Amino acid sequence: MTDVVERTEFLGPEPARALAALLGVETPDLDALPPLWHWVYLLDRPSQADLGPDGHPVRGAVPAPPAPGRRRMWAGGRVTTRGPLRCGEPATRRSTVLSVRDKQGRSGALTFVVVRHQVVQRGQTVVDERQDIVYRRPTPLSLPAHGPVVPPADDEWSVEVTPTLLFRFSALTYNAHRIHYDRDYARDVEGYPGLLTHGPLQALAMAEAARAQGGCGDGLFEYRLVAPLFDHQGMVVSARNGTTAVRDVHGRQTATGTLKSA
């Protein structure tokens, strides 16, 4: 385990209002932000000199890249909400790397990193989060052929994924990874067929779909990113009986989530 890195800041209302506008939902209760909305607060803000060619920090970040040239993927995580996160007050995020594990996959060497973030306010841990990050060597991406368009069901939420949406989410979360907003880089350097839709954006959409049905309050939200999702593939979100999911417009699942009440 590495040393704990702390960041403290005053939580103003504007990031929450900006996220609500981006998602197209009403501004939530600022005295009890919804689960995952802490992602627009307590952000790392590295210097420009500390960014690599892909826009990710190469030093001074948690976690630090395991080796030069590796590509970073957000694979999933678990977020436990233990109390209300309030705007209008300071909060502290405590971050540490819990584990680093190397593994040989079909595409080559992989490094799995688990990072823990705890958000503390009024002396209480109100958010306890574990993020699963994967680093891999550059390898060609193969995508299955898509089938016909599957219209959203009455209880599904269809989100139009545009370059503007992805750019605004990158800006709101201070994420400079170029695969989300630089189409030339995503295509010519990383070999992607489009701009990549953020894993955290998919997780937030799943949590919001659950919240709209009266779920996703205090308790555990666990999610996995199971396939890449690109801007031209849309985003269709569902939440049913404690299970959430994201699929593309052709029905291919890209993310899953489960909810457990406190």
pLDDT digits (tens, 9 = 90+) for 21-73: 999 999 999 999 999 999 999 999 999 998 888 888 887 777 777 777 788 88
CATH topology of domain 5-261: Thiol Ester Dehydrase; Chain A (3.10.129)
pLDDT digits (tens, 9 = 90+) for 12-30: 999 999 999 999 999 999 9
Question: Distance (Å, rounded) from C-alpha 177 to C-alpha 70?
Answer: 13
Would you state the pLDDT for residue 70?
A: 80
Residue 34: helix, strand or coil by DSSP?
Answer: coil
Structure confidence at residue 143 as a pLDDT band (50, 70, 90): confident
227 contacts: CB under 8 Å, gap ≥ 6: 252, 253, 254
Statement: residue 144 has pLDDT above 90: no
Mean pLDDT of the chain: 92
Question: Distance (Å, rounded) from C-alpha 73 to C-alpha 87?
Answer: 30
Would you state the pLDDT for residue 216?
A: 65
123 contacts: CB under 8 Å, gap ≥ 6: none
User: Is the sign of the CA dihedral 200, 203, 209, 212 positive or negative?
Assistant: negative
Q: Are 113 and 135 in contact (CB under 8 A)?
A: yes
